Amino acid sequence: MSRSYLFALGLTGLILTTPGMANRKVVARPAVQQTVAARTDSTAPVITHGPYLQLPSATSMTIVWHTDRKCVSRVEFGLDNRFDRQEISSRHGLVDNDRANHIIRLTGLEPGTTYQYRVVSRAFLGYERQHIVAWGDSIISDPFEFTTLDPGKDRFSFSMVSDLHERAEELATMIESEAWQDIDFAIYNGDMIDDFMRSDQIFTGFLDASVHGYATGKPFIFARGNHEVRGRFARSIPDFIPLQDGRAYYSFDHGPVHFIVLDSGEDKEDGHRYYNSLVDFTRYREEQARWLTEDLQSETALRARFRIVISHIPPRGADRYWAQSVREHFEPPIREAGVDLWLSGHTHNLMRIDPTEGENNYHLLIGPTHAVTRVDVSPDELRVTVTDIDGVRLEAFTIRR
Ligand SMILES: [Fe+2]
């Protein structure tokens, strides 16, 4: 990168670092003179968490990171380490300058293509007076890379965990395990944290371990569990886990699979005293059921060889309100359209329910705690294995088409 390019980008006082990775080498470059009419802060912002990849698709990827102060941020990216494209975050015509969490969606990408990226944050110190703002220094991350999803890909693998409940060290062990190797993405199927009562729970509970292990280069798909939607910070989840077009439920496609992520909500009736009249999940499930009916009739869903549903709360497996409500709302369109596999968690216990005449016409797998569920996808089959944290195989079955 030339010095003139640095000036053009306002990258003065540049520091290269890899946040959240204590063992990685940190390279500092001497600051260069500010050329903009603004004050230089004595310290550069620090990237405290991330970057990590979210909401993958064949043509887009979302990059998220967090800084220790408000910044104006961008992602520089491109092919063959050129970093000749950039994307910023703005809303309604205004570039974000009031956020310490940075969520930037890269669009217009090619399917199945590997891009290099790095994130840049410049401290925004405030407005000195009318028309004049005060800038601090900038920080730029190490380069990382990701590969977009590809509906044309023949075979791939993904892993799923649920009900981690903030056992970050356990997640780190799982990420190193054989069940996690050579995956295209991971699925976090809810209750990765306990009730969301402290703002740092997502970081310490699973996010920092994910960034350290893989999430700078492979995305994780997040289906919200009943514990994430509970507590004083529940409404701030989108600051950490971005929404897809404003929704926590959505679908995406990769290889021969159409994936549907559902947000199954709380596990008790809306009127339960625990919720203090502050939840509205029945209507939310009704809203999702309408969307689900439409989504299953979409061109990508109809064309896909396999359909996989992901929801934290399972539709079956217990005679309890939560299963009943999920089943009543989501099963009718699924029974009508047909899906191959429904992946859930919540009960903490492994359960496999095969298609049963007059009941469910899909395979249901409820993943247990302390285990990784891995699915190997090929053109003709889904091979499902569940392996516990000690490497013991708990379940294996194959769905063929
Ligand atoms: Fe749960």
- 229-242 pLDDT tens trace: 999 999 999 999 99
| Spatial contact of 300 and 333, defined as CB atoms under 8 Å apart | no
Token couple for 5? 């390019």
pTM assigned to the model: 0.90
- 92-118 pLDDT tens trace: 999 999 999 999 999 999 999 999 999
Q: Give the three-class secondary structure for 184.
A: coil
| Spatial contact of 288 and 296, defined as CB atoms under 8 Å apart | no
What spacing in Å lies between the alpha carbon of 190 and ligand 1's midpoint?
Answer: 7
What spacing in Å lies between the alpha carbon of 192 and ligand 1's midpoint?
Answer: 9
What spacing in Å lies between the alpha carbon of 288 and ligand 1's midpoint?
Answer: 19
Q: Which residue has the higher pLDDT, 201 or 37?
A: 201
Residue 44: pLDDT band with limits 50, 70, 90: confident
| Spatial contact of 393 and 386, defined as CB atoms under 8 Å apart | yes
What spacing in Å lies between the alpha carbon of 102 and ligand 1's midpoint?
Answer: 28
Is the predicted pLDDT of residue 50 greater than 60, yes or no? Answer: yes
What spacing in Å lies between the alpha carbon of 313 and ligand 1's midpoint?
Answer: 6
Token couple for 21? 């990775």
Which homologous superfamily does the CATH classification assign to the domain defined by 156-400?
Metallo-dependent phosphatases (3.60.21.10)
Given this model, what pLDDT does residue 43 score?
67
Backbone angles phi, psi at 64, to 5 degrees: -125, 140
What spacing in Å lies between the alpha carbon of 322 and ligand 1's midpoint?
Answer: 10
Backbone angles phi, psi at 223, to 5 degrees: -105, 125
* Packed helices 321-337 and 281-295: angle between N→C axes, nearest 10 degrees: 20
| Spatial contact of 112 and 153, defined as CB atoms under 8 Å apart | yes
Is the predicted pLDDT of residue 30 greater than 80, yes or no? Answer: no
What spacing in Å lies between the alpha carbon of 238 and ligand 1's midpoint?
Answer: 19
Q: Give the three-class secondary structure for 231.
A: coil
- Mean pLDDT, the chain, whole residue set: 91
Determine the Cα angle at 376 with ends 294 and 342, to 5°. 35
156-400 shares the fold of 3-52+59-146: no
Residue 7: pLDDT band with limits 50, 70, 90: very low
CATH topology of domain 3-52+59-146: Immunoglobulin-like (2.60.40)
What spacing in Å lies between the alpha carbon of 165 and ligand 1's midpoint?
Answer: 9
**In the β-sheet with 306-310, what is the strand arrangement from edge to edge?**
250-254, 257-261, 306-310, 341-344, 363-366, 351-353
Of 378, 368, 397, 400, the closest CA to residue 174 belongs to 368
Domain ranges of the chain: 3-52+59-146, 156-400
Is the predicted pLDDT of residue 14 greater than 90, yes or no? Answer: no
What spacing in Å lies between the alpha carbon of 345 and ligand 1's midpoint?
Answer: 7
Given this model, what pLDDT does residue 178 score?
96
- 374-396 pLDDT tens trace: 999 999 999 999 999 999 999 99
| Spatial contact of 251 and 295, defined as CB atoms under 8 Å apart | yes
Q: Which residues surround ligand 1, an ion (CB under 5 A)?
A: 191, 225-226, 346
| Spatial contact of 356 and 333, defined as CB atoms under 8 Å apart | no
Our measurement of the distance from residue 106's CA atom to the centroid of its chain's CA atoms, rounded to an integer in Å, reads 15
Poorest-pLDDT segment among 10-19, 39-48, 340-349: 10-19
Residue 123, strand partner residues:
71
- 250-289 pLDDT tens trace: 999 999 999 999 999 999 999 999 999 999 999 999 999 9
Residue 135 parent element (H or E): strand 132-141
- 166-176 pLDDT tens trace: 999 999 999 99
Please give the C-alpha separations between residue 357 and each of 162, 306, 361, in angstroms, as whole numbers.
28, 20, 7
What spacing in Å lies between the alpha carbon of 228 and ligand 1's midpoint?
Answer: 9
Of 153, 67, 65, 57, the closest CA to residue 110 belongs to 57
| Spatial contact of 175 and 210, defined as CB atoms under 8 Å apart | yes
